[in-house]
Amino acid sequence: MSKQPMDRLGKLQRAVVELVWELGEATVRQVWERLYPGKQVSYTTILAAMQRLEKSGWLRHRAEGKSNVYVPTRTREQAGVSSVRTFVQRMFDGNALLMFRHLVEEGELSDEELQELQKLISKKRKERQK
């Protein structure tokens, strides 16, 4: 599985991964036709991007006839968790409390958002008491 966070992928690679998540699995041709119906980007560019994504652990493939069908190696949620962890580590030296403090103090959170945060905190406390 890839150690590279989603935010480190290039624009094309992110678009490819997003589309494969959306479709569940896809061939190079399906990705190419969906992302670039006007053929602004060549088929081989998409092929190379998908091969790089496979090398870096984002995709894997299986052969079906003359085509390779690519599938994601992790879910969107798993990639999101990894990106958030990397972000917190990089920007807040791994201290999630500093990040939350910054978001609460510097952000413009609505009353509804603050209530939601309170609910999440209460839920987490209850889970720990079990």
Residue 51: HSE in the Cβ half-sphere, 13 Å Cα cutoff = 6
Average pLDDT, the chain: 90
| Amino acid, single-letter form, for residue 41 | V
> Is the CA virtual torsion 10, 87, 5, 20 positive or negative?
negative
> Is the CA virtual torsion 90, 96, 97, 103 positive or negative?
positive
pLDDT tens-place string over residues 46-98:
999 999 999 999 999 999 999 999 999 998 888 888 778 888 888 889 898 99
> CA-to-CA distance for 50 and 27, rounded, in angstroms?
9
**Is 11 in a helix, a strand, or coil?**
helix
| Amino acid, single-letter form, for residue 21 | W
**Is 111 in a helix, a strand, or coil?**
helix
Mean pLDDT of 11-34: 96
